[in-house]
Chain A
Amino acid sequence: MVLKAFFPTCCMSADSGLLVGRWVPEQSSAVVLAVVHFPFIPVQVKELLAQVHQASRVGLAVLGTWCHRHQDAEEGLGHFLEGLGAIFSHEPWLQLSRERGGKLWSCKATCHQGPPGPAAPDEDQVMLVFYDQRKVLLSQLHPAAALPDRQAGDGTAGAEGLAVVFDTVARSEALFRSDRFDDGPVRLSHWQSEGVEASILAELAKRASGPVCALLACLLSLVSAASACRLFQLWPLSFICSKLSVCEQLRHRLEQLTLIFSTQKAENPAQLMRKANVLVSVLLDVTLGLALLSWLHGKDCIGQLAKALVPVADVSWSGSLVVLEHLFPACWGHPDCPFPAQWVGPLPPVCLQHVAEELQHLLQWLMGAPAGLKMNRALDQVLGRFFLYHLHLWISYIHLMSPFIERILWHVGLSACLGLTVALSILSDIIALLTFHIYCFYVYGARLYCLKICGLSSLWRLFRGKKWNVLRQRVDSCSYDLDQLFIGTLLFTILVFLLPTTALYYLVFTLLRLLVVAVQGLIHLLMDLVNSLPLYSLSLRLCRPYRLAAGVKFRVLEHEAGGPLRLLMQINPLPYGRVVHTYRLPSCGCHPRHSWGSLCRKLFFGELIYPWRQRGDKQD
């Protein structure tokens, strides 16, 4: 096998000395970590290597000599370096040399012991691979198909191939702690020898983070204990909490904050990235929420919004009363009439009233001849009046709420401090509450339609002389009596001819409900995006691409005749898609649990659909 010598680019201009690093016999590669300069005492060098070995569990050794000299320098240095091979015995002994100011490199590997045979590497077969030590130290390899029991940089003996190089450099940090300004016994050249990298802000932040995290972790544990108390397990509260998406989002936010401020150190790089991602996404969320808050309060948007909702005199409300009066002249003014002849008191909010008004127009259209279809008059009137009464109740409810709307909006706007996602979840809940009547209409229409379909299917079987065998779960033939057949056929005919009317009401209300669900779904999608996007990893990939490595790439450097083959090893960064896939945060989003096929089937048979179930919800 060809002998590969991994040489750091920072040592290319270093003075002559000894090469210190790790020899990997399985791959016949020598990873050079530093150069020890003259003068040195061999005993002290061996002590330093033993110290580093103890600290990092990486077997370092003196691998050979490095000679950086002028072309016409004396040959004594060369002989001296060869003599060092006797003091630090290592198989094979590397001899690298470079001409100062020139481009001529030479590399020799010799074996002192053992029979020189085809296994001994000769000069032609040594390959020099240059690597940037700082980048290799800081980067983290992401193997393409990582098995669960193997992770790159784990330090197990199973690290293969180039992961060994990364592993060696990462674990030998103890060797890089001294720089040339230290007065140690041994003078080294490595990536930090010009001065150890450190940042005052980072150090201060590290010192301050301890007590701050402890305090906040305490507070958060109090909050989570309070939220887990028995009061919230009681029926009305727990039911409401499970239906509102605000509670889910707040719980998620609490979990995120607990993760960030936990006093335990992250055990591996994946956990550290997770913490960093969660911190950045929480910060972004809160910033966007505060921006929203300032916009809402700054331009007095809340006031304007409430004014739009505040009761004002409006022609259309009285106009619709007139229409109703003409529609039901018989019952208008009757003491039992559900609709009051005159509305007393403050008028309901304009925009909500607008929605209610549109619904009324819709119902009146259905009660006429919608799209030219001829409805069954009696059933049409019954259903139409039923829904109109329901709408009237809804309008009364809105009317009761109208004085409090501005106050409520103001307080709700404050919740944007906790983040944009919380504000979005409140918006989604407000939409759900305000369109509650549409939900009710949908449920009524669906139940009616479902009953009708069930009745039709069983009577259709009777029509054909069959019945459903519950025991065997199949359709069997059955002989009915004459009166059974007579009644059954009669009922079947009635149901069939009433089907278009019911189906139309069901269709209209289902479409409205699906529209509301689609709007809520979009809001949830946006929330999911903010919650689960790993922003820290993406910005790291953008600004420091060598930190997240998918692999390496090689470039062949200028080849001199008679010299060794020189390659430059660079880090191949992880593509953006894989960054998002690897570091995606778990979101609290509830994904639709129906496929399109089952959704269509449920719609056809009139079964109720609940596309956005929160996690942990029981089936209704």
Chain B
Amino acid sequence: MEDERSFSDICGGRLALQRRYYSPSCREFCLSCPRLSLRSLTAVTCAVWLAAYGLFTLCENSMILSAAIFITLLGLLGYLHFVKIDQETLLIIDSLGIQMTSSYASGKESTTFIEMSKVKDVVINEAIYMQKVIYYLCILLKDPVEPHGISQVVPVFQVIFSTLLNAKTALEL
């Protein structure tokens, strides 16, 4: 069973949420983040190359231009591989645990699995960012030493919903 809805995040980008229901004990939530925009890419590349050209006119050394090209290429590759997240998936398996997967724009996937015995609760946390209040989903982990304490707060998605209503509706909590 699949279900798709769209929301917007705090920066105004479009988010698409897909919900899949495999069995009564297994559900998946898949959040697709806004893609890399051509406008911002062009702007950054132009800025870097203009700065490099400015330095070149000062120093008369053509190595600066080659270096600028390398820096732009490496920077773009690094950004796509380490920073830009394309899709985030949350897989909940009853009595096994919760799995969070982030797929990056370069194809890399990074997975974290948290066992059910370590999960204390799943909550929506509020945070104040500049002039607005933002909501994000997070998992509270049990403290191994103190039974009633919380050892860690793990945010589930790296993108943030803009209103509480959106967050609640999305995840049917």
Interface residues on A, range: 20 to 34
The one of A28, A552, A553, A559 in contact with B95, judged by C-beta atoms closer than 8 angstroms, is A28
- A454 → chain B, closest Cβ, in Å? 49
Interface status of A145 (Cβ within 8 A of chain B): yes
The one of B28, B95, B113, B145 in contact with A572, judged by C-beta atoms closer than 8 angstroms, is B113
- B146 → chain A, closest Cβ, in Å? 13
Interface status of B94 (Cβ within 8 A of chain A): yes
- Per-residue interface assignment for chain B, residues 8 to 52, with 1 indicating a CB less than 8 Å from any chain A CB and 0 otherwise: 000000000000001111101000000000000000000000000
List residues of chain A with CB within 8 A of the CB of B144.
145, 147
Residue of A nearest to B100 (CB): A553
Interface status of B169 (Cβ within 8 A of chain A): no
Question: B113–A554 contact, CB under 8 A?
Answer: yes
Question: B117–A160 contact, CB under 8 A?
Answer: yes
How far is it, in angstroms, between the C-alpha of A30 and the C-alpha of B26 when the chains are bound? Answer: 19
List residues of chain A with CB within 8 A of the CB of B151.
145
Residue of A nearest to B111 (CB): A553
The one of B23, B113, B115 in contact with A565, judged by C-beta atoms closer than 8 angstroms, is B23
Interface status of A340 (Cβ within 8 A of chain B): no
- A408 → chain B, closest Cβ, in Å? 41
The one of A27, A28, A127, A554 in contact with B99, judged by C-beta atoms closer than 8 angstroms, is A554
Interface status of B96 (Cβ within 8 A of chain A): yes
List residues of chain A with CB within 8 A of the CB of B91.
554, 556
The one of B26, B101, B115, B145 in contact with A161, judged by C-beta atoms closer than 8 angstroms, is B115
How far is it, in angstroms, between the C-alpha of A161 and the C-alpha of B24 when the chains are bound? Answer: 21
| Interface set, chain A 147-178, CB cutoff 8 A to B | 147, 160-162
Taking A124-B24, A145-B144, A565-B23 as contacts, is the C-beta distance between A4 and B95 under 8 angstroms? yes
How far is it, in angstroms, between the C-alpha of A162 and the C-alpha of B113 when the chains are bound? Answer: 11
Question: B25–A551 contact, CB under 8 A?
Answer: no
Interface status of A305 (Cβ within 8 A of chain B): no
- Per-residue interface assignment for chain B, residues 52 to 68, with 1 indicating a CB less than 8 Å from any chain A CB and 0 otherwise: 00000000000000000
List residues of chain B with CB within 8 A of the CB of A2.
25, 94-95
How far is it, in angstroms, between the C-alpha of A505 and the C-alpha of B26 when the chains are bound? Answer: 76
How far is it, in angstroms, between the C-alpha of A376 and the C-alpha of B5 when the chains are bound? Answer: 83
- B82 → chain A, closest Cβ, in Å? 12
The one of A1, A125, A161, A567 in contact with B93, judged by C-beta atoms closer than 8 angstroms, is A567
Question: A162–B115 contact, CB under 8 A?
Answer: yes
Residue of A nearest to B26 (CB): A565
Residue of A nearest to B101 (CB): A553
How far is it, in angstroms, between the C-alpha of A451 and the C-alpha of B111 when the chains are bound? Answer: 63
Interface status of B131 (Cβ within 8 A of chain A): no
How far is it, in angstroms, between the C-alpha of A499 and the C-alpha of B58 when the chains are bound? Answer: 42
Question: A127–B117 contact, CB under 8 A?
Answer: no
How far is it, in angstroms, between the C-alpha of A147 and the C-alpha of B24 when the chains are bound? Answer: 35
Secondary structure type dominating chain B contacts? strand
Taking A553-B111, A553-B113, A554-B93 as contacts, is the C-beta distance between A565 and B99 under 8 angstroms? no
Question: A572–B117 contact, CB under 8 A?
Answer: no
How far is it, in angstroms, between the C-alpha of A567 and the C-alpha of B99 when the chains are bound? Answer: 13
Question: A553–B117 contact, CB under 8 A?
Answer: no
- A1 → chain B, closest Cβ, in Å? 5
List residues of chain B with CB within 8 A of the CB of A556.
22, 26, 28, 91
How far is it, in angstroms, between the C-alpha of A162 and the C-alpha of B95 when the chains are bound? Answer: 11
Taking A2-B95, A554-B96, A554-B99 as contacts, is the C-beta distance between A125 and B25 under 8 angstroms? yes
List residues of chain B with CB within 8 A of the CB of A162.
115
Residue of B nearest to A559 (CB): B22
List residues of chain A with CB within 8 A of the CB of B22.
556, 559, 565
- A45 → chain B, closest Cβ, in Å? 30
Residue of A nearest to B115 (CB): A161
How far is it, in angstroms, between the C-alpha of A2 and the C-alpha of B96 when the chains are bound? Answer: 9
Question: B25–A565 contact, CB under 8 A?
Answer: yes
- Per-residue interface assignment for chain A, residues 555 to 571, with 1 indicating a CB less than 8 Å from any chain B CB and 0 otherwise: 01001000001010000
How far is it, in angstroms, between the C-alpha of A565 and the C-alpha of B91 when the chains are bound? Answer: 13
List residues of chain B with CB within 8 A of the CB of A551.
112-113
Residue of A nearest to B110 (CB): A575
| Interface set, chain A 16-49, CB cutoff 8 A to B | 27-28
How far is it, in angstroms, between the C-alpha of A162 and the C-alpha of B28 when the chains are bound? Answer: 21
List residues of chain B with CB within 8 A of the CB of A4.
95-96
- Per-residue interface assignment for chain B, residues 121 to 155, with 1 indicating a CB less than 8 Å from any chain A CB and 0 otherwise: 00000000000000000000000110000010000
- Per-residue interface assignment for chain A, residues 112 to 126, with 1 indicating a CB less than 8 Å from any chain B CB and 0 otherwise: 000000000000110
- Per-residue interface assignment for chain A, residues 422 to 442, with 1 indicating a CB less than 8 Å from any chain B CB and 0 otherwise: 000000000000000000000
How far is it, in angstroms, between the C-alpha of A124 and the C-alpha of B22 when the chains are bound? Answer: 12
How far is it, in angstroms, between the C-alpha of A4 and the C-alpha of B95 when the chains are bound? Answer: 9
List residues of chain B with CB within 8 A of the CB of A554.
91, 93, 96, 99, 113
- A129 → chain B, closest Cβ, in Å? 8
Most buried by A among B26, B96, B112: B96
- A135 → chain B, closest Cβ, in Å? 16
- B153 → chain A, closest Cβ, in Å? 14
Most buried by A among B23, B115, B145: B23
Question: A552–B113 contact, CB under 8 A?
Answer: yes
How far is it, in angstroms, between the C-alpha of A363 and the C-alpha of B105 when the chains are bound? Answer: 61
- A579 → chain B, closest Cβ, in Å? 15
List residues of chain A with CB within 8 A of the CB of B111.
553, 572
List residues of chain B with CB within 8 A of the CB of A559.
22-23
List residues of chain A with CB within 8 A of the CB of B116.
161
- B42 → chain A, closest Cβ, in Å? 33
- A158 → chain B, closest Cβ, in Å? 10
List residues of chain B with CB within 8 A of the CB of A553.
99, 101, 111, 113
Residue of B nearest to A129 (CB): B96
How far is it, in angstroms, between the C-alpha of A68 and the C-alpha of B28 when the chains are bound? Answer: 31
- B62 → chain A, closest Cβ, in Å? 31
- A205 → chain B, closest Cβ, in Å? 37
List residues of chain A with CB within 8 A of the CB of B96.
4, 127, 129, 554, 567
- 16 pairs, A vs B, C-beta closer than 8 Å: A1-B95, A4-B96, A27-B95, A28-B95, A125-B24, A127-B93, A147-B145, A161-B115, A553-B111, A553-B113, A554-B93, A554-B96, A556-B28, A565-B22, A567-B26, A572-B111
Could you tell me which A residues sit within 8 Å of B by CB distance? 1-2, 4, 27-28, 124-125, 127, 129, 145, 147, 160-162, 551-554, 556, 559, 565, 567, 572
* 10 closest Cβ pairs, A-B complex: A161-B115, A553-B111, A565-B23, A2-B95, A1-B95, A2-B25, A551-B113, A2-B94, A565-B26, A559-B22
Given contacts A1-B95, A551-B112, 6 further A-B contacts (CB under 8 A): A127-B93, A161-B116, A554-B113, A556-B26, A556-B91, A559-B23
